[in-house]
Amino acid sequence: MMTAPAPFLLKDASVSRVMTQVCLALVPGIAAYAWLVGPAVLIQLVIASLAALLAEAVMLRLRGKPLAMFLSDGSAVVTAWLIALTFPPLAPWWLVATGTVFAIVVAKHLYGGLGQNPFNPAMVAFATCIVSFPALMAQWPSVGLQMPLLDQIDIILGLAPRVDALSGATPLDAMKTALKLGDGEIDVAHLLANQDIYGNFAGRGWEFVAAGYLIGGLWLWQRRLISWHAPLAFIAAFVAISGALWLYHPATFANPLFHLLSGGTMLGAFFIVTDPVSGCTTPRGKLIFGAGAGLLAYIVRVFGGYPDGVAFAVLLMNLSAPVIDLLTQPRIFGMKDES
């Protein structure tokens, strides 16, 4: 009986199987999301998936690559789902489709396709669209909005007019706006305790969405599809900087729990910074990458011009990933360190 020589291990980890499990890990968060804002997010998932597969097919045809093999690997669908989950659920269909096509064509295939892209395609789509269409990217459903499925579909497809009552600020955006307008006279603790939009922790219902992503992320870690390094470093950096500033001036800075359970923190921790292509590959590199992304995301979120900074933080760290990997390569087995 032949066995594989150490230290190599045989493991069935095809791209399609990994991507399928990533999609399954997103399901708890998607379920909580759909419960919170209605079925519009499911419509956006379908639109993004169709746009991604169409763009992927066109680019594969232009590059002379086999369609069946690459279309079935699931990578385009994972990118599409991440885009749909980071865009407003009632955004017009063309906005989601445009962002998805841009991610597949520019951020993925123009760099050589799967495994060659230096930037996370979903974050490229988000950053591009929030800079190009800031008003549309800020139109999130108002808290407690109840709307039938057909009405939501009409708004997404542009068959019904968009009215101000359908959109409201996210908890992060509301917090930043209130503090800016208050000019230091508004207490964060008072805002969290007295405004309905913030719920019990970080946004009415949004903590359940964050918990869904956390459950899915832990399942990916348990399945050994991701390592603990980047997610733990990302969350630890968020807690460290937000906790330090909160202790320094609690009237101006929100507590760490608010930042962990709001915005894209949990989605970023387990599904964005763990991207094996655009992130780091060495254990120490993943720790540095995750920590850097967490610190930058908080800085952009609190001090920058956008309510959530995960996308910009990840893209900045994508630029640094090759250098980080180069400087954190482990010592070759049997070789001494150069002195």
**What distance lies between CA 7 and its chain's CA centroid?**
34
Read off the pTM. Answer: 0.88
What's the confidence (pLDDT) of residue 142?
67
167 phi and psi, to 5 degrees? -125, 150
CA torsion sign for 111, 137, 96, 14 is positive
pLDDT per 10-residue tile (average), the chain, 339 residues: 46 78 96 88 96 96 88 93 94 96 96 91 96 88 72 84 61 63 55 58 76 96 95 96 91 86 92 94 96 96 86 96 92 60
140 phi and psi, to 5 degrees? -95, 150
Residues 226 and 270: beta-carbon distance below 8 Å: yes
What's the confidence (pLDDT) of residue 249?
84
- Residue whose C-alpha is closest to residue 24's, from 213, 230, 232: 213
- What letter represents residue 331's amino acid? R
Residues contacting residue 19 through CB under 8 Å, at least 6 positions apart: 73, 74, 75, 77, 78
Residues contacting residue 41 through CB under 8 Å, at least 6 positions apart: 30, 33, 34, 84, 85, 89
Helical packing angle, 229-248 and 283-303, nearest 10°: 40
